[in-house]
A and B are shown apart, each in its own frame.
Chain A
Amino acid sequence: MSLVPALLLVSACTGEFSSGREMGREELDQNPIEDDGILATVCGTDGVTHLPARRLTRTELAHSIADIFGVDVNPSVFPLDSEDGGFRSNRGQEIPAVDVAALFDAVESVAPPVAERVAEELGCALGDSGCSAELVAKWAPVLYRRPLEVGEEERLVAFAESSAMDFGADRALELTVQAMLSTPQFLYVTEVEAKDDSLRALSDRELLTRWSVTLFNSVPDAALLDLASGFDFSDIDERRAMLDTMLSDPRAERGLGELHVDWMGVDDPTGAKDADLFPDWNQATAEAAIEDVRYTGAKAILDGGTFYDLMTTRSARLGDGLDEIYGVSGDDGDEVELGEERSGILTRAGVLALGHHATPTEGHVVFRGLLVRRNFLCDEVPAPPPDIDPNTDRSETDQCAACHQFIDPIGFAFEPYDAIGAYQSDQPYSDTREVKEMPETGAPDAALYGEFDDLIELGDRLGQSEPVERCYTEAMFRYALRSVETELHRCAVDAVLEELGPNRTLREGLIELLASDVYRAVGPEAPANEEEL
């Protein structure tokens, strides 16, 4: 068994970046795509497709309600999410009935405080003349993320008025809010303008929704819709300007934080640690560690850092118990510089302690090694054979060693960091430790090969590697799409990285990707039984 190298394919990228190839005129009749240089001229248009609808994730729902109504909601009230490409997305997933019930109950519980907030702004009572129409006109287009279509406004108004008649004004407001928040128009992100077979651009609202859930982890609120109306999204410079403006919004830390939490696979704070060994670890500490991962990743982008900065930064944000783990002093919420034993996102407590990267008692060599192979080298590492005995010594059987020889030597670099991510200075590496190295097979960059001293050096090498940065950028694009990237998307990543050159910042790369015509292009729906054709 051997590792399958990453799909860092650029074969789809034919032609010159700067040379033009006009799209067929008939493709541009409606919502035309301006030729910004990548889609038609570099990568071709064959891979443009329609992305299936997706249900908003639990954090997107909570953040959306917070942004639109100013009401804080615990995301855990909503049903669990499914992943696509390593990121929580619910893309193309048919929701089980039990989750429909959980979602309905959750919205029902959220509706009263939201209705209270709506009532403050509404200034009238349902049942009063015109009040239902005012309610619908003010909130429904925001929740539906588009102007209401024929019949939608009438149905909502009728529901509000009949509820007021049957249940009284206050309860009717709660029910109408609940109804709006339970509609597919709010809960599902659909991109319906590509229903026909045309190759075209997303509508402005659809594009804004993609950007908003990517950068803010929420759907657009009224203020963002107002802001967007001042930009012409058919012009790439205006798209860049809009994105730059959005990245200056404090909420951008939220969306970009989620990108890095998912990329590292550390969104779940509930894993327990051995209480004897780590008596101070609790869920609040785990949540603070996740928040620090959010901070680390988002700050690297928002402050204009490079990929190398992300892999070597010592800046951290403290939270419950992190000062002890990091061995620094400061209050919760403080931004601090960590010591020399920390460098980059791989050395963050949240990454080291959560997401199967540690057991309750110690760090997990295999999962830490896998993190690097899968998420930094974009390797597709096969799962262990289903019939293998989990108690088998993985270094002693050929069946296990075939893969673990490429995983474990990387994982050994993490060993001084214990199950909660604390650095054990009294147990540094010793000569008797297993060799820490990047095995040549499977690594995409010759500069990465060979032995290294510690996790700091590993992070340094990864930070300087072009293929690793490309792997990260592909993950970023996957997150922005909430879908597994295609060759077209990988082509766009290559093109953007090449165009920006070696001194590019993460922020520049993100803006170029999200402003690109590849990102906003949408084509015909893939055949339902494509694999049979």
Chain B
Amino acid sequence: MHLIRKIPRRLLLEGAGALALSAPFLGRIRSAHAQDAPVRFFGFMTAHDNLHRDYWHPNVGSGSPLPSSLPGFLSEIDGHLSKTTMISDMENNKSRPGTHEGWGIMLTGRDSRNGNADGPSVDHVIAERHGQTPLVMGHRSRETPTDLRNYCSWAGSGRPNAPIANPADAFEQVFGAGVPDSGPDPAAEARRRQRRSVLDFVAQEIQAVQPRLPAADRAQLDAHLTGIRQLEMQVADITMPTCSVDEVRADGWDPTANENFPRMIRLCNQIAVMATRCDLRRSFILQYGSCSGHFLRPGRWNDGPINDGDNWHDIAHRGEESNRIALEHFMMKIFNDLLDDLDALQEAGGKSHLDNSVCLWMRNMSNTSRSGNAHRQGDRFALLVGGAGGRLPGNQFYDSGGTEDNKVLITLMHACGFDDDTFGDSNLGRGPYPVLA
């Protein structure tokens, strides 16, 4: 039922070469980037925090440059220190960080209502400012589909943006069925036509039923019809070119299976990079974990970093120290792969895509002890990596002094070109941190 394609990393990194395959589209990309390139946002969300501040604090003063090598697992991104801003010691007593529930609402800047976010998350707001929706990909727990705490991207109160768990689906949603270099895939084209025929039929039925309904009922069906029309537009967009395509998903593998987690997230990384290179999306959430990590078992991942049968949550709290550190290294390396890929793509004016992006790494909790067996709402840090079109100078460490971490989200908005004074609940911090150019 799905596109059976994969994106070869080699092709992906070939830069403009693949773009040349879609000449009509190339002009649009160039014109979009020739002047003031839009700043793209990437939220990199992983599971349960493992490590006490001893493992990550760079031990430099606030306002200082970062050390030549970051401590521990953070050293994985040493190659991007010049584009890295580290903000530490955020504190928040009002919106429940330090709990599993705090994970899902971390990007909303608001308290939750039983796991239900009370407003849109920053990725959604940024996407909306660009007239888009965010591309949310990654882990979607099969065991806990109704647990709202496991959604971190929100269109609004009670409206989570569920991550697309299958890279093939994400690919199809972003790029459609067109393959400019080889012509439309016959199977994908047939599927598109089939979906289109069903959607057309449903739209027709809604319109046929509506006239005999009371006004309130008609309004409900109007909303349904709007959703159907959006789907119709997606499947109708057969002329949308792609940058490069091959098989996103080979037959016989389940992208939602625990053992395939590393493969799944690497593919999602690549789709995000392709989507930004083609300027099809400007806000991304790479959801590579859940509120607790209970349903991910890193020790059973194919090509995984550790040999431990426990789930991520229990490893974080009770696992061997070496395993906790190895797991953090593994995920930080995935983050670094994303940074590498963005930095390898060139834009106008000699800038890379990373120069015109902001990649956020942040968690909602830390640990009070080196043993890891606790939650803590303080002692947290955030990484903002990328030049943000020149708005983030990089290579700086800033100690927030225990101020509210909504200011991270506000700083992020400013970095993306939106000078909002507040984000979410205005009682939880106003104005950006002084890390902007």
Q: Which A residues are closer than 8 A to B by beta carbons?
A: 50, 52-53, 55, 76, 80, 82, 92-102, 104, 108-109, 151-152, 155, 159, 162-163, 166-167, 171, 175, 178-179, 182-185, 187-188, 190, 192, 194-195, 268, 270-272, 275-276, 283, 356, 387, 389-391, 525-526, 528
B290 to chain A, nearest CB (A): 10
The answer to whether A155 and B208 touch across the interface, beta carbons within 8 angstroms, is yes
Give the residues in chain B near A270, CB-CB below 8 Å: 143-144, 146-147
Q: Look across to chain A and name the residue whose beta carbon is closest to the beta carbon of B210.
A: A184
The answer to whether B220 and A272 touch across the interface, beta carbons within 8 angstroms, is no
The answer to whether A159 and B197 touch across the interface, beta carbons within 8 angstroms, is yes
A96 to chain B, nearest CB (A): 5
The answer to whether B216 and A283 touch across the interface, beta carbons within 8 angstroms, is no
Give the residues in chain B near A163, CB-CB below 8 Å: 194, 197
The answer to whether B208 and A175 touch across the interface, beta carbons within 8 angstroms, is no
> Does B193 reach chain A (CB closer than 8 Å)?
yes
The answer to whether A50 and B224 touch across the interface, beta carbons within 8 angstroms, is no
The answer to whether A101 and B145 touch across the interface, beta carbons within 8 angstroms, is no
The answer to whether A185 and B205 touch across the interface, beta carbons within 8 angstroms, is yes
Give the residues in chain A near B100, CB-CB below 8 Å: 272
A198 to B174, CA, bound (A): 50
Q: How many residues of chain B are within 8 Å of chain A by beta carbon?
A: 54
The answer to whether A182 and B198 touch across the interface, beta carbons within 8 angstroms, is yes
The answer to whether B194 and A100 touch across the interface, beta carbons within 8 angstroms, is no
Complex A-B, nearest 8 residue pairs according to Cβ-Cβ distance, in ascending order: A100-B227, A94-B223, A270-B147, A97-B227, A270-B144, A525-B214, A53-B217, A76-B145
Give the residues in chain B near A178, CB-CB below 8 Å: 198
Give the residues in chain A near B216, CB-CB below 8 Å: 52-53, 92, 525-526, 528
Give the residues in chain B near A76, CB-CB below 8 Å: 145-146
A39 to chain B, nearest CB (A): 21
Q: Look across to chain B and name the residue whose beta carbon is closest to the beta carbon of A279.
A: B314
Q: Look across to chain B and name the residue whose beta carbon is closest to the beta carbon of A55.
A: B220
Chain A to chain B contacts (Cβ below 8 Å), 7 pairs = A50-B214, A98-B159, A99-B227, A109-B1, A155-B201, A184-B202, A184-B206
> Does B212 reach chain A (CB closer than 8 Å)?
yes
Give the residues in chain A near B209, CB-CB below 8 Å: 184-185, 190
The answer to whether B193 and A166 touch across the interface, beta carbons within 8 angstroms, is yes
> Does B239 reach chain A (CB closer than 8 Å)?
no
> Does B23 reach chain A (CB closer than 8 Å)?
no
A38 to B222, CA, bound (A): 37
CB-CB under 8 A for A271 and B202, given A99-B227, A389-B94, A525-B214: no
The answer to whether B219 and A94 touch across the interface, beta carbons within 8 angstroms, is yes
The answer to whether B202 and A101 touch across the interface, beta carbons within 8 angstroms, is no
The answer to whether A190 and B213 touch across the interface, beta carbons within 8 angstroms, is yes
Give the residues in chain A near B114, CB-CB below 8 Å: 356
The answer to whether A159 and B201 touch across the interface, beta carbons within 8 angstroms, is yes
The answer to whether B204 and A155 touch across the interface, beta carbons within 8 angstroms, is yes
CB-CB under 8 A for A195 and B158, given A92-B220, A182-B202, A271-B147: no
The answer to whether A179 and B202 touch across the interface, beta carbons within 8 angstroms, is yes
Give the residues in chain A near B206, CB-CB below 8 Å: 183-184
CB-CB under 8 A for A93 and B220, given A155-B201, A155-B205, A390-B96: yes
Give the residues in chain A near B147, CB-CB below 8 Å: 268, 270-271
Interface digits, B189-205 against A, CB 8 Å rule (1 contact, 0 not)? 01001110111011011
Give the residues in chain B near A92, CB-CB below 8 Å: 216, 220
Interface digits, B120-151 against A, CB 8 Å rule (1 contact, 0 not)? 00000000000000000000000111111000
A65 to B144, CA, bound (A): 22
Q: Look across to chain A and name the residue whose beta carbon is closest to the beta carbon of B207.
A: A184
State which residues 292-332 of B face A: CB under 8 Å.
Answer: 292, 294, 313-314, 318
Q: Look across to chain B and name the residue whose beta carbon is closest to the beta carbon of A54.
A: B220
Q: Look across to chain A and name the residue whose beta carbon is closest to the beta carbon of B193.
A: A166
The answer to whether B94 and A184 touch across the interface, beta carbons within 8 angstroms, is no
The answer to whether B144 and A101 touch across the interface, beta carbons within 8 angstroms, is no
The answer to whether B208 and A152 touch across the interface, beta carbons within 8 angstroms, is yes
> Does B93 reach chain A (CB closer than 8 Å)?
yes
A441 to chain B, nearest CB (A): 27
Give the residues in chain B near A194, CB-CB below 8 Å: 214
The answer to whether B208 and A96 touch across the interface, beta carbons within 8 angstroms, is no
> Does B162 reach chain A (CB closer than 8 Å)?
yes
CB-CB under 8 A for A101 and B205, given A50-B214, A188-B220: no
A399 to chain B, nearest CB (A): 16
> Does B426 reach chain A (CB closer than 8 Å)?
no
The answer to whether A52 and B214 touch across the interface, beta carbons within 8 angstroms, is yes
A250 to B292, CA, bound (A): 38
The answer to whether B146 and A95 touch across the interface, beta carbons within 8 angstroms, is no
Give the residues in chain B near A528, CB-CB below 8 Å: 215-216
The answer to whether A95 and B314 touch across the interface, beta carbons within 8 angstroms, is no
A104 to B193, CA, bound (A): 15
With a 10 A CB-CB cut-off, give which of A162, A270, A390 has the most chain B CB atoms: A270
State which residues 68-114 of B face A: CB under 8 Å.
Answer: 93-94, 96, 100, 114
Q: Look across to chain B and name the residue whose beta carbon is closest to the beta carbon of A104.
A: B231
A440 to B421, CA, bound (A): 48
